[in-house]
Copies of this chain bind each other. A is one copy, B any other.
Amino acid sequence: MIRFNSDYTEGAHPNLLNRLVETNFEQTGGYGEDEYCAEAAAMIKQICQNEQLAVHFMVGGTQVNLTVIDSALRSHQGVICANTGHINVHETGSIEACGHKVLPLDSDDGKISASQVEALVQHHLQDGAKEHTVQPKMVYISNPTELGTIYSKAELTALHDVCHQYGLYLFLDGARLAYGLTAPDNDLDFPALAQLCDVFYIGGTKVGALFGEAVVIAHPHLQEDFRYIMKQKGGMLAKGRLLGIQFAELMRDNLYLELGQHAVDLAIKLKKACQELNIPFLVENNTNQQFVILSDEIIAKLDEKYTYDYQKRIDDTHSAVRFCTSWCTKEEAVDALIVDLKEWCK
């Protein structure tokens, strides 16, 4: 089987693995208080052009999401997100298990807008609502979103502004950040993220690391005591250097964005082929997740050679599926899929 079902089907990029092997027998302190974590954090601050940032390394995305959100909210406060948001539909209620309501907004493409946020806040502030309802205090977005779309700098700025106006924190989930920052239509970069978001994270698990996410905290309130919450949620890795070592390599010589570019290029190759075959898209985007609508017949053939992520039934004879490329996808694999799709779509 050729796997397009997710972007975490292999291990790590060789640069990272080699450094783990080279440093294996060194002795260091634990819990992220070692020189490798310090080095990686310094590199990230430099790339973001902001020395006031706090950088912490954690193992996985759900862990980051619940730690950041629980750290930010008091008991009566909730987090706004798209109804498709990962925290709303794919983390088994992790935010609610920390005591906070997720406040979903309708979204067709995985994105939410500043005006949607403002409308929700205004509704909360009406008489009869307020203390009888959850107080919105944070906005959670992902970039790219769960549907592969990305925010423009203008959109992110508008979200930042509305959050600032109403005293909300803005949190950007960057599990697939490299695949957004290298999209052809992207106009965001690390310094912009550090300036517009109160907190965001740079995803490693899906971009060349064995595991790991780098949490970048800009807002001083959110920096305070963050390590307490990390520890409490089981998110402080004993051998924390494993994260520092990997992120130092990802940040070195622009490797992180190169890996992103690789996946995006292959995704766009696949996208163009589908367009030429008049295959419709569930949502159009230019990142590493391509959502296409295929007939049952083609899906049956697909099942024999490829894995993919099933999305949903579209009509009596069609369903939407997701193909993921990644830092590690071979061009031959994409070419093989294109050849087959051409054959099946004849």
**A92→B133 contact, CB < 8 A:** yes
Contact segment of A59-67, A262-270, A277-285, A287-295: A59-67
State whether B127 touches A98 (Cβ < 8 A). no
Task: Confirm or deny: A317 has a beta carbon within 8 angstroms of a beta carbon on chain B.
Answer: no
Taking CB atoms and an 8 Å cut-off, the chain A residues in 136-150 that contact chain B are none
Please provide the chain A residues from 225 to 261 with a CB less than 8 Å away from any CB of chain B in the complex.
225, 227-239, 242
B211 and A328 form a contact (CB under 8 A): no
> Does A275 count as interface, using CB distance less than 8 angstroms?
no
C-alpha spacing A92/B92, complex, angstroms: 21
Segment at the interface with B among A1-9, A155-163, A177-185, A194-202: A1-9
Interface presence of A96 (CB below 8 A): yes
The CA of A186 and the CA of B94, in the complex, are separated in Å by 40
Q: Is A119 an interface residue (CB 8 A)?
A: no
Which of A16-24, A38-46, A47-55, A109-117 lines the interface with chain B? A16-24
The answer to whether the Cβ of A304 comes within 8 Å of any Cβ in the partner chain is: no
Q: A134 and B93 in contact (CB under 8 A), knowing A60-B238, A229-B76, A234-B62?
A: yes
Pairwise interchain contact A237-B60, C-beta atoms closer than 8 A? yes
Q: Are B239 and A90 in contact (CB under 8 A)?
A: no
SS class of chain A's interface: helix, strand, loop or mixed?
loop
Q: Shortest CB–CB separation between residue A243 and chain B, in angstroms? A: 10
| Total copies of this chain within the assembly | 4
Contacts of A63 in B (CB 8 A): 234-235
Question: How far apart are A196's CB and chain B's nearest CB, in angstroms?
Answer: 25
Question: Which of B17, B99, B239 is close to A21, meaning CB atoms less than 8 Å apart?
Answer: B17
Tell whether A164 is near chain B: CB-to-CB under 8 Å: no
CA–CA, A96 to B134, complex, Å?
10
Shortest CB distance A220–B (Å): 15
**Which residues of A in the span 75-120 have a Cβ within 8 Å of any Cβ on B?**
75-76, 78, 89-94, 96-102
Q: CB distance A232 to B6 under 8 Å? A: no
Which residue of chain B has its CB nearest to the CB of A5?
B29
Instruction: Select A228's contact among B12, B27, B92, B98, beta carbons within 8 Å.
Output: B92
Count of A interface residues, CB-CB < 8 Å: 79
Tell me if A135 counts as interface (CB < 8 A to partner B). Answer: yes
Cα–Cα distance between A61 and B5 once the two chains are bound (Å): 30
On whether the beta carbons of B233 and A233 are closer than 8 Å, the reply is yes
Whether A133 contacts B89 by the Cβ 8 Å rule is yes
Partner of A131, one of B6, B101, B133, B227: B227
Contacts of A93 in B (CB 8 A): 75-76, 78, 99-101, 134, 232
A203-222: CB near B (< 8 Å → 1, else 0) gives: 00110001100000000000
Check: A335 CB closer than 8 A to any chain B CB: no
A340 adjacent to chain B (CB < 8 Å): no
Known pairs A97-B232, A128-B309; list 8 more (Cβ under 8 Å).
Answer: A5-B29, A59-B237, A60-B234, A97-B99, A131-B228, A131-B231, A131-B236, A210-B239
A-B pairs with beta carbons under 8 Å apart, 6 shown: A9-B30, A60-B234, A92-B229, A93-B232, A94-B233, A210-B242
